[in-house]
A and B are shown apart, each in its own frame.
Chain A
Amino acid sequence: MAAMVRLHRQTDQIVEESYQRKNEAENQRDKEFVAALKVQAWFRGSRTRSYITHLNSSANIIQKRWRGYLGRRHFRVLVKNSVLIMKLNHYNEKATKIQKMWRGYYIRKYVFNYHSRKRYLEALQIKNEIVRSELEEYAEQQEQIAYRKREAQEAKKREYQARKYHFLISTEVIPGIFNSPFLPYPSEKEYILRSVKPLVHKKKKPEKDPYDPVCRSYDLPKPMQLPPLPEKPQGPFRDPSDVQKQRYKPFQQTLRVSTSYTALEEARQAMKAEEWVTRLNDNTFVPFSKKDQRYEPMLHTTSQYGHLPFGTHFYREEFLDKHIVPQVMSMAQVFHFEVEILIPDGIHLKVHFSNITICIQIIFYFR
């Protein structure tokens, strides 16, 4: 109970204290709240940060591992490649060396043999010299031939001149112009003149065919003289009676005497007359008055589709009512008409009418 009393005694004090505490709490509440907030914020922040750091470090680890893996993989390939290239280069180098040696050997042995080339070129030089000397010789030979030819021509010319001027030779009495009496010996020309004969002038023959530019070079060969006949054979002779008969045969006129004296002329005349009559002229006759008049074919006898047998098949108009005015009859139609009239007399008639006169004669005959 004492406690109770104590409490009761202390009640005011306790209420006071509780009020005090409450006030104090009320006063401190904001402060505490802010402080708690701060603490919470800090805590949350550091928690999140630590989480992010954790995540980052994990990611780093993953990345590190992955990159390391990739890098190692790449490096392995790189090493493989570079080793391959190294090997390749090495072998290429070796191959080049082998090829070089082989090519050098092969070319020296078979393609370009320096010594054989040298020998070839030397041989070629010798050959060239031979060819040159041969050609030189040939040219010289040609030259000499030409020279000789020229010489001969000149000698001929000189001789001709000497023959031409042979009259300048000196005679026994009169010295020629090349044989001057004041000189100890005659000049060279004199000797030449003495050695040749004078030129004989040929008589100029009149040319048969004075001008024929084409024929001149191709004459037919001249007929040669025939060889002499062999001697006459002796016997066997003819039968004597035969000879007798021939000797005493009656007089026979020659053909010349037996035929008419002017037979030839007559025959010629006859031939001429015949020729005159049958003379043909191929040229189409062109009248000179109207030179450029062209031939115009008849309208009746031609058509676009060929020849119309007008006048041979069709004697009369087929379509009579074609024209209003009666047409002038053609000659053939007239003949036909008349013949048709005459035939009923009972006489069979087959005449080709081609001429008016014939037609008229026939008409008279039947009358």
Chain B
Amino acid sequence: MSQRQVLQVFEQYQKARTQFVQTVAELASRPQNIETLQNAGVMSLLRPLLLDIVPTIQQTAALALGRLANYNDDLAEAVVKGDILPQLVYSLAEQNRFYKKAAAFVLRAVAKHSPQLAQSVVDCGALDALVICLEEFDPGVKEAAAWALGYIARHNAELAQAVVDAGAVPLLVLCIQEPELSLKRIAASALSDICKHSPELAQTVVDAGAIAHLAQMILNPDAKLKRQVFSALSQISKHSVDLAEMVVEAEIFPAVLTCLKDPDEYVKKNVATLIREIAKHTPELAQLIVNAGGVAAVVDYIGDSKGNVRLPGIMMLGYVAAHSENLAMAVIVSKGVVQLAIALSEEPEDHLQAAVAWALGQIGRHTPEHSKAVAVANVLPKLLNCYLRADATEDLQTKSKRSLKNNLQKCVHLPALEPLLHDAPPNILKHVVGQFSKVLPHDSKARRFFVTSGGLKKIQEIKAEPGSALAEYVNTINNCYPEEIVKYYSPGYSDALLERVENFAPKS
């Protein structure tokens, strides 16, 4: 046998390896194949190929492994148990950039599933290697490394702290300043993942000077980048007043509001979240947002969007209104209540209705003026309906009840209270009747109207336990009217009359 024939065997083998690994990588990109691949024992076949002498085969094997690990956590666990990670980490420092990218992809895919898997990635020393990759010249490698770091950090505070301790934050901040959009996007998302756990972590990110660079990118035309930027800013500002003030000091304010009109839904949602996180801290910050016209913009945004995207806007209105009556008035003046009423009737989902109910409660609890604004929007019957609905969740029930209570205790707008007399349960009725008992003794017109609209009759039909607050209120109302009228409207009066007719003996 000639030498060539011998060598041909080797060549064939190499070709076959290449082809095998490429095909596996391609097959692994479709989820429906993965089950079959795994059953065929692909993991144990790919592992030696990671050590192959041909770099292309190594890279493609890493890619295939990454795709497999990406699929579900069982496969990711198989990668961890197969002792593949230390080797990948080792080669992250050694190999060329293509291999680094693929290896970082595998680490990302493994770390994505659960905190335990991410911890195992950290345990094999991946963080240092990934941080070194962030210093690489190639943007693709940086991107892959930032992505993996973000996925590791997103699980819990400990992992995020580990990422911070590895010194990733300054490099991620540098990555934001790179010209490549995708790199910026991923670095911003990684920063957001790091900040979200605790004030200390957020402070670390702020200390690295991230806010100024993030604030610069607010007006970037790329929607996906904006999503991540706003998410990062809101994660920073959610922790404490100081952090929120630092975000505000980056002069984001009038500029952010334009993004509420962005065509992309997630951008809108993240912007609203950012505004909410800032507004919730102090009255001063809320006032700043109100003065910048933020409430009007948010109200418009609630009107424009549907479903879950509305939620942060609704909560923002609630937070702003909760701070002081002045701010609540600002919300009312910006037509927030009307928009909330629309949202309450449009949204079928319970958690959104609960949020709207909460926000309305915060608006109406300050003064009669406020609660009148809420009552005029015809919200109270809807809230009552939310409370009484059979399929309402417990959260919705408690929220709508508290909201009703807050509003009713301040409300002196009697026409809005009338309908509640007819179908409110006793625990709500108590507050309604209480309001009537406060207003009627001092208002003759209202007394008259109360009789003609049938309210008095309804009051007489209430069976209040003697000695309870409700009975006292009913008594107070009855005292406002002459006795005959009260009797006339009490149930069973006709029987009493008939009895009198029977007992009456005609004279002569």
Do chains A and B interact in one complex?
yes
Tally B residues with Cβ within 8 Å of A. Answer: 32
Most buried by B among A130, A132, A146: A132
Question: Is A195's CB within 8 Å of the partner chain B?
Answer: no
* Contact A121 B329, beta carbon cutoff 8 Å: yes
Give the docked Cα–Cα distance between A345 and B176 (Å): 88
The answer, among B25, B261, B333, for a CB contact under 8 Å with A138, is: B261
What are the residues of chain A within 8 A of B261 when measuring CB–CB? 135-136, 138-139, 142
Interface: A211 (CB within 8 A): yes
Cβ–Cβ contact A127 & B263, under 8 A: no
Within 8 A of A (CB), among B97-126: 97-98, 101-102
Q: Give chain A residues whose Cβ lies under 8 Å from the Cβ of B102.
A: 214
Evaluate whether A127 and B140 lie within 8 angstroms (CB atoms) in the complex, with A213-B25, A215-B98 already known. Answer: no
Complex interface: chain B residues within 8 A of A117 (CB): 326, 329
A137 smallest CB distance to B (angstroms): 9
Q: Which residue of A lies closest to B98 (CB)?
A: A214
**Nearest residue in B to A125 (C-beta to C-beta)?**
B333
Out of A124, A130, A213, which one reaches B334, CB within 8 Å? Answer: A124
Does B416 have its Cβ within 8 Å of any Cβ on chain A? Answer: no
A20 to chain B, nearest CB (A): 99
CB-contacts of B243-283 with A (<8 A)? 257-258, 260-263
A146 engages B291 (CB within 8 Å): no
Distance in angstroms between the alpha carbons of A358 and B15 in the assembled complex? 53
B-contacting residues, A111-132, CB 8 Å: 117, 120-121, 124-125, 127-132
- Per the bound structure, the CA–CA distance linking A226 and B35 in Å amounts to 54
Which listed residue, B63, B260, B329, touches A135 by the CB 8 Å rule?
B260
Give the distance to chain B from A146, nearest Cβ to Cβ, in Å: 7
Give the segment of B183-191, B295-303, B356-364, B471-479 that binds chain A: B295-303
- B256: min CB distance to chain A, Å: 11
- Chain A residues contacting B330 (CB-CB under 8 Å) are 121, 124
A217 at the interface (CB under 8 A from B): yes
Q: Which of B101, B258, B263, B293 contacts A214 (CB 8 A)?
A: B101
Residue A218, interface by CB 8 Å:
yes
CA of A125 to CA of B295, assembled, Å = 10
**A142 CA / B25 CA spacing, docked (Å):** 41
In the complex with contacts A121-B329, A127-B291, A135-B297, A218-B334 CB distance below 8 A: no
Complex formed: what's the CA distance from A344 to B262 in Å? 106
Q: Are A127 and B63 in contact (CB-based, < 8 A)?
A: no
Interface residues of A in 204-222 (CB under 8 A from B): 211-215, 217-218
Complex: A100 Cα to B410 Cα, angstroms: 23
In the complex, chain A residues whose CB is within 8 Å of the CB of B59 = 214
- The answer to whether B263 touches A142, judged by C-beta atoms less than 8 angstroms apart, is yes
Among residues of B, the one whose C-beta sits closest to the C-beta of A112 is B326
Bitwise, A174-199 to B at CB < 8 A (1) or not (0) is 00000000000000000000000000
Residue of B nearest to A210 (CB): B22
> Whole-angstrom distance between the alpha carbons of A134 and B293 in the complex?
11
Q: Does B290 contact A (CB under 8 A)?
A: yes
Give the bracket for the number of chain A residues in contact with chain B: 20 to 34
Task: Note all chain A residues with C-beta closer than 8 A to B329.
Answer: 117, 121
B63 and A213 contact, CB distance less than 8 A: yes
- B56 within 8 A of partner (CB): yes
CA distance A163 to B102 in the complex (A): 41
**B334, A128: Cβ atoms under 8 Å?**
yes
Q: Which residues of A contact B74 (CB under 8 A)?
A: none
> Smallest Cβ distance from A131 to chain B, in angstroms?
3
A121 cross-chain contacts in B, Cβ below 8 A: 329-330, 333
Dominant secondary structure of chain A at its interface with chain B? helix
A124 & B258 in contact (Cβ 8 Å cutoff): no
List, in ascending order, chain A residues with CB within 8 A of B257's CB.
131, 135
In angstroms, Cα B295 to Cα A13, docked, is: 151
Number of A-B contacts (CB under 8 A): 66
Which residues of B12-54 have CB atoms within 8 Å of chain A's CB atoms?
A: 22, 25
A221 to chain B, nearest CB (A): 13
User: Which A residues touch B334, using CB under 8 A?
Assistant: 124-125, 128
Cα(A138)–Cα(B291), bound, Å: 20
User: With an 8 A cutoff between CB atoms, is B158 at the interface?
Assistant: no
What is the CB-to-nearest-CB distance from B104 to chain A, in angstroms, rounded to a whole number?
Answer: 11
Q: Tell me whether A127 and B22 are in contact in the complex, defined as CB-CB below 8 angstroms, given that A121-B330, A214-B59 are known contacts.
A: no
> Interface centre among B25, B59, B140, B334, by most A CB within 10 Å?
B334
CA distance A143 to B295 in the complex (A): 23
Residue in B closest to A126 when the chains form the complex, CB atoms: B293
Residue contact B25 to A128, C-beta cutoff 8 Å: no
Query: Considering the chains assembled together, what is the distance between the CA atoms of A188 and B293 in angstroms?
Result: 51
Interface residue ranges of B71-100 to A (CB < 8 Å): 97-98
- Residues of A contacting B260 in the complex (Cβ-Cβ under 8 angstroms): 135
Q: Looking at the assembled complex, report how far the CB atom of B182 sits from the nearest CB atom of chain A, in whole angstroms.
A: 11
Would you list which residues of chain A between 38 and 75 have a CB under 8 Å from chain B?
Answer: none
Please tell me if B60 contacts chain A, counting CB pairs below 8 Å: yes
Q: Does B395 have its Cβ within 8 Å of any Cβ on chain A?
A: no
B138 at the interface (CB under 8 A from A): yes
Report whether A131 and B297 are in contact in the complex, using a CB–CB cutoff of 8 Å. Answer: yes
CB proximity of B305 to chain A, nearest CB, Å: 13
Measured CB to CB, the closest approach of chain A to B333, in angstroms, equals: 5
Flag if A214 contacts B295 (CB, 8 Å).
Answer: no
- How long is the Cα–Cα vector from A215 to B138 in the complex, in angstroms? 12
Whether the pair B97, A128 counts as a contact (CB closer than 8 A) is: no
Q: How far is the CA of A135 from the CA of B334 in the complex (A)?
A: 15
Contacts of A130 in B (CB 8 A): 293
**Can you name the residue of chain A whose Cβ is closest to the Cβ of B261?**
A139
Chain A residues, CB < 8 A from B292? 131
* Known pairs A124-B330, A127-B293; A214 contacts B300 (CB<8 A): no
- Given the complex of chains A and B, what is the CA–CA distance between A104 and B138 in angstroms? 69
- Distance A133 CA – B326 CA, assembled complex (angstroms): 24
B138 CB contacts on chain A under 8 angstroms: 218
Report Cα–Cα, A212/B55, bound state, in Å.
11
19 cross-chain CB contacts under 8 A: A117-B326, A121-B329, A121-B330, A124-B290, A124-B291, A125-B333, A125-B334, A127-B293, A131-B257, A131-B293, A131-B296, A132-B293, A134-B258, A135-B258, A142-B261, A142-B262, A142-B263, A214-B60, A218-B98
Q: A131-B257, A213-B25 given. 19 additional CB < 8 A pairs?
A: A121-B330, A127-B293, A127-B296, A128-B295, A128-B296, A131-B297, A132-B296, A134-B258, A135-B258, A135-B260, A135-B261, A135-B297, A142-B261, A142-B262, A146-B263, A213-B63, A214-B98, A215-B98, A217-B140
